[in-house]
Amino acid sequence: MLQASLQSTAQSVEVKADKRSILIGERIQYDITCILPSPGYAVSFRVPDSVSHFVMVENKAIDSIAGSNDFRLHKRIVFTSFDSGSWHIPSVDVQVERSPYNRTLKTDSIPVEVGYSPADSTGSLRDIKSVIEVTVADYTLYYIIAGVLLLILAGLLFYRYVINRNKDKGPEGNHGLPAFDEAMAALSELEQSGFSNPEQVKNYHTSLAVIFKRYCSRKSGTDMMNRTTGEILLNMQQYNDSTFLSKLAEALRCGDAVKFAKFLPAADDSTGSLERIREAIRYLEEVHLNTKQ
Amino acid sequence: MLQTAEDIRLLNEKISYSSNFVNRINDELGKVIVGQQVMIDRLLIGLLSNGHILLEGVPGLAKTLAIKSLAQSVHAQYSRIQFTPDLLPADVVGTMIYNQAKNEFFVRKGPIFANFILADEINRAPAKVQSALLEAMQERQVTIGDTSYALQEPFLVLATQNPIEQEGTYPLPEAQVDRFMLKVVVGYPSKTEEQQIIRQNTQGLVVPAIHAVASTAEIITAKELVRQVYIDEKVENYIIDIVFATRFPGQFNLAKLKPLIGFGGSPRASINLALAAKAHAFLNKRGYVVPEDIRDICKDVLRHRIGLTYEAEAENVNVEDIISDILKSVNVP
């Protein structure tokens, strides 16, 4: 009885962990040692399959150590944790049997702190990998060239636009003067030049038509030099003035007859045509001025 | 023949008197045809300048009515030939028929023996029938058996083509199309005109009758006057420039047209442009041609005489665009 009592008090279990505070993923060695007075005991470490908040990395086999006064059974389990916080590795049952003796010993639970690596802003930064030097191409020159080319292209397009716009504006004339003044000056010059032979009459009437077409071209901004009498009269219908239209038609049709039908009008008719063209230009100028106002 | 200013003045007076029948015909046709004044003008131009007309337009645009009414207004004979794939040349010009009782052949003249011929859908008949008609148009005579028969004066052929439904047709070769003086594209009437057409065809109980308001003799006299219409050298040069621009666009600052034109107008184009311009001047009661006459008639004369390249077709450029560009670039005298 006394022996049994002694034996019962002689068995004990110790537990220890090499760390009480780990970083996430760091390993912790958990050792359970069962101390027995002598060999001949059946010992069973009832380690659970899983421990909450921990991952069992290694579950080593039981090791036995025979000492001079006792007999020890040792088991090592390696845990880790990926769950930050304060956790406990729970108590583990160790069953010790030797007939008729049967006893369950319990280990202490061990608190473990699982945390992140503390940030240290004072420490120097370390490269994860060795630094690889990258050569960066300098595109500045290309950008400058492209910009210059674009400017040249834009300049060319603008130049073309200006050329075409000027083309539309009609014939080259005395552009130093406004269209009206230029037409009046040309009519005065024509009036003074006079005509004495059929060829001069032809030129006289041709010039009348040209002066009128040039004035219209400059005023409207479209080339009217290549328009026929009919087309010009059709264009003039926009002013809705029958007197103006009939006088203009008379002058231009007379010019057509001179140019294309060998018609030789009387001197009065020719000067009358000039007056009609002059009136028509004055009328158009007035209309333009009124429209502007 | 050089004409003096006095000749032209006299001609002007003569024309202004002799062209009165044009107004009467226009008034008479106006009774049954609404709008389509351009088509009527072109018919008269063809009639007065010995030309023939190819008319293109969708069905129902009064093409048949126009020529029928024109024939009635001139008191002339009219016949219509509907071109079909099984038509034979003899169906057009006529043939020799055997008379058993008299034991001899006699001539049965075809529908071409009339003053005004409507060759409806000319591209539906085979080439040999087209050739028979075109030959008669050109020669103004027909040979049946051993005898040649002159066609009546005035003689005007109006051939029609449908721009749609090209399947099963025999398109006219360029050389034959060239024989038509004008190719007129007939467009749809305006909204107002269409309204008038509806009223005319749904409200009136009796279709107005066309009366003969001109005689064939008047037409023949007018044709002679048209030939005398004065055309100045500058206007002639203008015609030449236009036709040359269709052949050598590069010479007229129209290099962009060069890849679009396959072939330009033939000398027949220049001749017809001058003749049509003379007739146009006559219709406007003038004894001389002005550039307006040329510009007005130019598209109808050149439309079928300019061949486009595949590039032009790919770029969706049509002959009208090309002619417009030419008219813009060639200097008006």
For residue range B104-133, list pLDDT tens digits in order.
888 888 888 988 888 888 888 888 888 888
CB contact under 8 A, A228 and B291: yes
Is domain B20-218 in CATH 3.40.50.300, yes or no?
yes
Q: What is the CATH topology of the domain spanning B230-329?
A: Helicase, Ruva Protein; domain 3 (1.10.8)
CA distance to A36, A170, B227, B322, per residue, from B262 (Å): 117, 32, 32, 12
CB contact under 8 A, B230 and A262: yes
Q: Which structure tokens are listed for B31? A: 């009774």
- Is A126 in the B-facing interface, judged by CB distances under 8 Å? no
Residues 205-234 of B with CB under 8 A from A: 230, 232, 234
Reported as a single tens digit per residue, the pLDDT across A219-248 is: 887 888 888 888 888 888 888 888 888 888
Give residues with Cβ within 8 angstroms of B313, minimum separation 6.
none
- Is B256 in the A-facing interface, judged by CB distances under 8 Å? no
How many whole angstroms from its chain centre is CA A249? 62
Using a CB cutoff of 8 Å and minimum separation of 24, what contacts does B137-140 make? Answer: B137/B52, B137/B179, B138/B179
Arithmetic mean of pLDDT, B167-181:
80
**Of B39, B25, B18, B3, the residue nearest B286 (C-alpha):** B18
Arithmetic mean of pLDDT, A255-271:
82
Classify B203 as helix, strand or coil.
coil
CB contact under 8 A, A226 and B230: no
Arithmetic mean of pLDDT, A176-197:
81
What is the spatial distance between Cα B124 and Cα B161, in angstroms, rounded to a whole number?
Answer: 9
State the DSSP code for B284. T
Set of chain A residues whose Cβ sits within 8 Å of the Cβ of B287: 261
pLDDT at A3 (0 to 100): 43
Arithmetic mean of pLDDT, A185-189:
85
pLDDT band at A31 (very low <50, low <70, confident <90, very high): very high
Arithmetic mean of pLDDT, B50-69:
82
Give the closest-approach CA distance of A258 to chain B in angstroms: 9
What is the spatial distance between Cα B198 and Cα B330, in angstroms, rounded to a whole number?
Answer: 43
Spell out the domain ranges in chain B.
20-218, 230-329
pLDDT at A198 (0 to 100): 74
More confident residue, B141 or A125: B141
Strands B53-56 and B182-185, sheet pairing: parallel
More confident residue, A282 or B208: A282
Percent of all residues in chain B with a pLDDT value above 70, rounded to a whole number:
97
Concatenated DSSP letters of chain A: -HHHHHHHHH-EEEEEES-SEEETT-EEEEEEEEEESSS--EEEEE--S--TT-EEEEEPPPEEEE-SS-EEEEEEEEEE-SS-EEEEEPP-EEEEEETTEEEEEEPPPEEEEEEPPPP-TTSPP--SS-----PPP--HHHHHHHHHHHHHHHHHHHHHHHHHHHHHT-----TTS-HHHHHHHHHHHHHHH---SHHHHHHHHHHHHHHHHHHHHHHHSS--TT--HHHHHHHHGGG--HHHHHHHHHHHHHHHHHHHS-----HHHHHHHHHHHHHHHHHHHHHHHHHH-
What is the spatial distance between Cα B160 and Cα B58, in angstroms, rounded to a whole number?
Answer: 10
- Is B8 in the A-facing interface, judged by CB distances under 8 Å? yes
Reported as a single tens digit per residue, the pLDDT across B268-326 is: 899 999 999 999 999 888 888 989 899 999 999 998 888 888 988 888 888 889 999 89
Arithmetic mean of pLDDT, A121-125:
77
pLDDT at A4 (0 to 100): 41
Percent of all residues in chain A with a pLDDT value above 90, rounded to a whole number:
30
Arithmetic mean of pLDDT, A280-286:
86
Residue found by looking up tokens 């003053």 in the block: B115
pLDDT band at B2 (very low <50, low <70, confident <90, very high): low
Task: Indicate if the pLDDT at residue A206 is higher than 50.
Answer: yes
**Of B55, B225, B19, B303, the residue nearest B156 (C-alpha):** B55
ipTM of the complex: 0.72
What is the spatial distance between Cα A12 and Cα B96, in angstroms, rounded to a whole number?
Answer: 145
Task: Indicate if the pLDDT at residue A150 is higher than 90.
Answer: yes
Give the closest-approach CA distance of A217 to chain B in angstroms: 14
How many whole angstroms from its chain centre is CA A72? 74
Strands B156-161 and B116-120, sheet pairing: parallel
Which of A87-96, A206-215, B69-78, B118-127 is most confident?
A87-96
Contact A252, A216 (CB under 8 A): no
